[in-house]
Amino acid sequence: ANLAVSAHPDIIYAWFEANGKKYIASKNLLSNLKQILDFEEVKIIKEFKGKELEFEQYHHPLFERVSPIILGEHVSDEDGTGLVHTAPGHGEDDYNVGRKYNLELLSPVDARGMMTKEAYQYEGLFYEKANLQIIEDLRTNGHLLKESTIKHSYPHDWRTKKPVIFRATPQWFASINMIKEDLLKAVAEVNWHTSWGELRLSNMLKDRDDWVISRQRAWGVPIPIIYKDDEPVLDANLIYHFADLFEKHGSDIWYEWEIKDLLPKGYKLEGKLTKEMDIMDVWFDSGTSYNILKRRGLSYPADLYLEGSDQYRGWFNSSLTCSVATNGVAPYKEIVSHGFVLDGQGRKMSKSLGNVVDPLKVMSEQGADVLRLWVASVDYEADVRISNDLMKQVAENYRKIRNTVRFMLGVISDFNYETDYIGWSMRGQMNRYMTDKYHMVAKKILNAYDNYKFHEITRVLMPFVVNDLSAFYLDYTKDSLYCDDKNDFERRSIQSTIFDILYGLLRLLTPIMPHTTSEAYQHLPNHRFEDIYLENMPHVVGIRDQKIHDAFQLFENLREDVYRHLELA
């Protein structure tokens, strides 16, 4: 596959003699080469920059082929010889420099890894066996100076874990440069919930080359192109006809029907006719999924695209490209992306490591709402950790919420909203303050929901439930609830306050803890619906009595200071 040798234009090379033969290599590497190749003495004949080697020729060590020396910026003199074997059909750097010099895209390996007739005497060999035979032939003809094994990074197939080889093959491309400015403009018009999300996608688009939309797979959506004498027939009407056939009969007909049966009646196409057997990139499939919204008369662009952070390179990217190319707008108004779940040590979960936390096991042991509360309590925009210890902490928070809700239900069990409810303005200062504080918390929670900041909900909720309600207000009102007359005005005021707060909290928590809130709702006095899922989110108001609010805030701050000093005493 070798068609050239690449040199760097600015590296200093040396023409030198060693062991009775003449060689060319980077001057900086001569001492290394002397040691590696067991040269007794190295005599430099001439020094020159790599650019002086351009278009000089050399003989192929195996075939009767003369090839040029070319220049490439990818060449370095950190190791080796400072001269790089170049096969334009088998590597990105080689391909790019080969295009610059109009070299042939020679790839003497087929899709099965077998050597083709362009490999001459190696035709029919699997490429790994061919490598061994080539080494032996170079050793035999005296062109192999040294053989050794090196350990280096090399791409492997993610599924089979086997090394891959690069082959230049004909592909279908979608031009990105033609719409790049439109893509960047569309990204700027999307509502981003993270500043880095917009920057990440924009940078990917700025650096993106043309999109290879063809794939060599045994399954997928066919590329509906007919070739006439090996040239594609680019007829939009023909493609629309194929689309109609696919809709009626399924896309498998592309492989099952003969070309004459696929063509429209009366369509004149003479010559050698063949079908394109490549399929569409699956990202082209998913990237055009927005079309279903338009066909069904649904909102387009979509209100929200939600996916993992890996989809900036995938679905977010392909959907944007397809939508801007066809409709001039992004297919989404907002994007929310999430990270991935890691184990407690920050490692990716895998069966081989034995570190998988099974959500079904968590739910069976601790309940689904505990798992849901954990999901809502972490910042999903980044990768998050989960472990049994972390789940125990979340379970403890869940129990605090559940026990508080259960206590509140218990102390209003004899409360009837229709006959016992006392309005906010008629309640005492403590009850008015707690109701207003609930509204402040509810407002923050609703704002967090609106902005998909779910972890902020638990951050606001837990101090309110544990400190403000359980440790302060509910503890303060126990005497009245337990000891006052059943219909005492202050007792009914407290129950009205607890009812307002509980009714609101249950609705606010339903998206996170639906099983718990549904169960509690059945015991809520005078509940309106069969289940809480039919309720709306609570309506919230601001602080209605600033003086009372400020006074109790001062009292709470003083109370915290007293407790802190008691702990230090």
CA distance 436 to 444: 13
CA distance 494 to 352: 57
CA neighbours closer than 13 Å in the CB half-sphere of residue 506: 28
Mean pLDDT, the chain, integer: 92
Residue 87 near residue 94, CB atoms below 8 Å: yes
- Report which DSSP code applies to 349: P
Q: Which residues contact 397 (CB under 8 A, 6 or more apart)?
A: 373, 377, 458, 462
Q: What is residue 63's predicted lDDT score, i.e. its pLDDT?
A: 92
pTM of the model: 0.75
Pairing of strands 302-308, 332-338: parallel
Q: Is the pLDDT of residue 201 over 90?
A: yes
pLDDT tens-digit map of 512-569: 999 999 999 999 999 999 999 999 999 999 888 888 888 888 888 888 888 888 888 7
Q: Taking the CB of residue 501, how many other CB atoms lie within 10 A of it?
A: 24
Q: Which residues contact 282 (CB under 8 A, 6 or more apart)?
A: 215, 220
| CA proximity to 464, closest of 511, 500, 501 | 501
Helix (H, G, I), strand (E, B) or coil at 81: coil
| Token pair belonging to 90 | 């088998």
Using left for φ > 0, alpha for ψ between -120 and 50, and beta otherwise, residue 562 falls in alpha
Phi, psi of 423 (to 5 degrees): -65, 160
CA distance 114 to 119: 10
Mean pLDDT of all residues in 470-496: 94
CA distance 30 to 20: 16
Which residue is listed with tokens 């010099």? 101
Q: Which residues contact 84 (CB under 8 A, 6 or more apart)?
A: 5, 6, 7, 72, 74, 75
| Token pair belonging to 110 | 């087929």
| Token pair belonging to 343 | 């184990």
Task: Label residue 332 by pLDDT band (50, 70, 90).
Answer: very high
pLDDT tens-digit map of 398-453: 999 999 999 999 999 999 999 999 999 999 999 999 999 999 999 999 999 999 99
pLDDT tens-digit map of 368-407: 999 999 999 999 888 988 888 888 899 999 999 999 999 9
| CA proximity to 169, closest of 278, 68, 93 | 278
User: Strand locations in 114-194, DSSP E?
Assistant: 173-174, 191-192
Q: What is residue 240's predicted lDDT score, i.e. its pLDDT?
A: 95
DSSP secondary structure string, 366-385? Answer: H-HHHHHHHHHHS-TTS-EE
Residue ranges of alpha helices (H) inside 207-310 are 236-249, 253-256, 259-262, 282-287, 291-295
DSSP secondary structure string, 514-536? Answer: HHHHHHHHTTSTT--SSSGGGSP
Q: Which residue ranges form the domains of the chain, and what is each CATH number?
A: 4-140 (3.90.740.10), 177-333 (3.40.50.620), 362-568 (1.10.730.20)
Mean pLDDT of all residues in 468-490: 93
Q: Taking the CB of residue 59, how many other CB atoms lie within 10 A of it?
A: 11
Task: Label residue 350 by pLDDT band (50, 70, 90).
Answer: confident
Q: Is the pLDDT of residue 352 over 90?
A: no
Task: Provide the β-strand partners of residue 156.
Answer: 163
State the helix-helix crossing angle for 368-377 and 454-463, rounded to 10 degrees: 100
Q: What is residue 362's predicted lDDT score, i.e. its pLDDT?
A: 85
Task: Label residue 270 by pLDDT band (50, 70, 90).
Answer: confident
| CA proximity to 477, closest of 412, 545, 415, 554 | 412
Percentage above 90 pLDDT, the chain: 75
CA distance 47 to 24: 10
Percentage above 70 pLDDT, the chain: 100
Q: Is the pLDDT of residue 248 over 90?
A: yes
Q: Is the pLDDT of residue 185 over 80?
A: yes
